[in-house]
Structure 1
């Protein structure tokens, strides 16, 4: 189906909530920009939009990437007839041929609208867990309930997009009748923008953020929430700093990102518990563009408890930054152990110390950096993501959505 004015195919992105400081918003903006460059018009439909002064830049980028952004007050997981009719009208008036729901909570909407209009229903899996420290520590063992499995089977889309091998293994544990309609497509990042710095750019970036000569700058850029493992990095950094044998590593940890007021207060209180901590840990808040802080860093750490496919790791690798992370979603896709970075066990601050100490060695870091950059450029660019998404949409190549480089067999 085509836009009668432009001749371009029209695709709806359906999202329950847009948090302009999180990875789903970044993913949608990057994908929409890439699809637009290939002649596809994106119509974003969302419920509430959350942004503040610092994340306004991200909101504007997302708005610029789509043809229309329909904010629908009251949009929830369970369809209301009045809202359902609003969405049906958007689909008919704009000749939408594909409905791409982001997050499994919107599956019912997407499938019912697909049945009514004939538009293809595609769902992108964005798993996440939020909550207090006790809840998120159990996130790696989380499972679907019987009700969730039934819901999944009733409203399984024409194609379900997963981004990581870990997500694929998780879904294979369940009786899902649509397993032959699952495709793995890596999340893409702009590898033209996220590139290695020149020597001068790196010096300027380190000076801008106050990183002194000889300091080993460890960066964690992610939502400020316990699930991202800020506490584990804080523990590891303290172990390195307070080692009985004087450590040759002058470690400084920089945290970029924002979260709910309660979580921010809890995490900062944890970080600043001791006299030395204010010199070791720095919280910079949310940044619309993290390229310069990536350029200033020596290692990217993400000891998270649960992930889908962290785009922050891909962005870091694209700048030549070495990642150290846990085996949450995307780990084995992003990291070849000891070659492009390191994977450490969940909840293991000592293992994190060991990995950071390895990356602190300049020769080791240089070799890993080259490999991380090469992997990001080969697999995590926007181009491959857009190509495979277009095939799934049925807009190029095989219209079954299964003829993909990363297609998944049941």
Structure 2
């Protein structure tokens, strides 16, 4: 007999802010002990937050897991994605003052994280993104260490040589010495880990990101809610408004289409930040065919407003927005970045263009799709066929099986 701790259990709070469920000990006494997983994340926003949310829901649905979530304090935590309802599905939730930048504050974060893990005593510590991955893997304990970089930092082609060497040495050392498994979210990332960072192949597991079936709004309703015209071809962009995501490239593509006389295309831009923070872009330079929509809660519900999805990124691991666009049946135009290029080429669901700042080919591909509804329809059907292979359920099941294999290997 198993007594659930979710929803009905009494809660109490620990000194470090963790939420503990009173029925947890009952479940351990009455049946075989569940596998205890600590999910550690510092960049708790965007695609990483979506991934964590899907993992929490999926592991809870699988059964047999205690889920302990360790997240940052402050703006790096996205409460729109990691909602109170989502946190309530965890057995404990802890907040640690992890910061993105490297500095003396990392010693405090390390001490608190180590203390937290020794209190939880998990079977598996699964860290996500580079800062959490470094801090968690330096914590010594009896647990197995699993790390998902979500675009390992050294994939960034714009990283200065000294920084590339510094971060490469850290990632390589921790990967070889302090990791039981690294999860690559794309084939390109797995090859980078093996060939560039010299991490043994038997430490690397490739598990593609996955998304749940979308709960889309009807197209007309979505466009009305976003203030978009019903008769335009809408190119969607969802992501942070920053250099990595290539929003300066998106501005040039939009301007290029206007200059070519393609005036029935609207670019709908969702995401946090502002164009003014990106080099080479100012409020005055934003073309009239761009609509800035800001941060939209549950953005994936509004993908039905798009006819085309644009990903002008400079580097990625395996971007969730591409999977969400595919799940919504939206053809994609993307630069050649990890994950996205593999998916689009293999499934024939869009166009992949060179990853360069000359945006003419990106504009060509966007214009071609905008002017050919039959091509968009064919690619949309290809999306429908591909989506089952990239489901959140498959992603969680493969990750859960990895956890179990690591522990079975230890007992054998």
Distance 2:136 2:391 in 1: 27
Match of 1:253 among 249, 257, 267: 267
Distance 1:339 1:129 in 2: 28
Q: Is the 8 A contact 1:72 1:83 kept in 2?
A: yes
1:179 Cα deviation from its structure 2 partner: 2.4
Distance change >3 Å, CA 366–CA 139, structure 1 → 2 = farther
Q: Give the equivalent residue in structure 2 for 1:162.
A: 184
Structure 2 residue runs without a partner (length 5+): 3-23, 29-33, 100-104
Q: Is the 8 A contact 2:39 2:125 kept in 1?
A: yes
Distance 1:299 1:155 in 2: 44
1:338 Cα deviation from its structure 2 partner: 8.1
Q: How many residues align?
A: 371
Q: Give the equivalent residue in structure 1 for 2:116.
A: 87
1:328 pairs with 2:342 = no
Q: Give the equivalent residue in structure 1 for 2:194.
A: 172
Q: Is the 8 A contact 1:13 1:44 kept in 2?
A: yes
Distance 1:74 1:29 in 2: 19
Q: Give the equivalent residue in structure 2 for 1:6.
A: 27
1:152 Cα deviation from its structure 2 partner: 2.8
Which structure has more RCO (C-alpha within 8 Å, separation ≥ 6)? 1
Q: Give the equivalent residue in structure 2 for 1:365.
A: 376
Provide TM-score, normalisation by structure 2: 0.80
1:35 pairs with 2:59 = yes
* Structure 1 runs, 4 residues or longer, greater than 6 Å off: none
Instruction: Map 1:206-221 to 2 at 5 A.
Output: 206-221=223-238
The CA RMSD measured in Å over matched residues stands at 3.1
Match of 1:280 among 279, 282, 289: 289
Q: Give the equivalent residue in structure 2 for 1:404.
A: none
Deviates more, 1:182-191 or 1:80-89: 80-89
1:394 Cα deviation from its structure 2 partner: 1.1
Distance 2:144 2:75 in 1: 28
1:144 Cα deviation from its structure 2 partner: 4.5
1:44 pairs with 2:69 = yes
Instruction: Map 1:245-324 to 2 at 5 A.
Output: 246-247=261-262, 249-259=263-273, 264-267=275-278, 270=281, 272-274=283-285, 277=287, 279-324=288-333
1:67 pairs with 2:88 = no
Q: Give the equivalent residue in structure 1 for 2:124.
A: 98
- C-alpha distance after superposition, 1:21-40 (max 9, x if no partner): x2211111111111111112
1:166 Cα deviation from its structure 2 partner: 1.8
Distance 1:226 1:281 in 2: 18
Distance 2:117 2:280 in 1: 48
Distance 1:129 1:110 in 2: 17
Distance change >3 Å, CA 85–CA 281, structure 1 → 2 = closer
Distance change >3 Å, CA 80–CA 291, structure 1 → 2 = closer
- C-alpha distance after superposition, 1:297-344 (max 9, x if no partner): 111101100111110110111011111111112123321268211111
Q: Is the 8 A contact 2:133 2:148 kept in 1?
A: no
Q: Is the 8 A contact 1:226 1:267 kept in 2?
A: yes
1:283 Cα deviation from its structure 2 partner: 1.2
1:84 Cα deviation from its structure 2 partner: 5.3
Q: Give the equivalent residue in structure 1 for 2:158.
A: 138
Distance 1:280 1:271 in 2: 15
Distance 1:31 1:229 in 2: 28
1:374 Cα deviation from its structure 2 partner: 1.9
Q: Give the equivalent residue in structure 2 for 1:186.
A: 208
| Structure 2 counterpart SS, 1:57 | coil
Distance change >3 Å, CA 399–CA 78, structure 1 → 2 = farther
- C-alpha distance after superposition, 1:263-282 (max 9, x if no partner): 543349826435x82x3111
Q: Is the 8 A contact 2:36 2:124 kept in 1?
A: yes
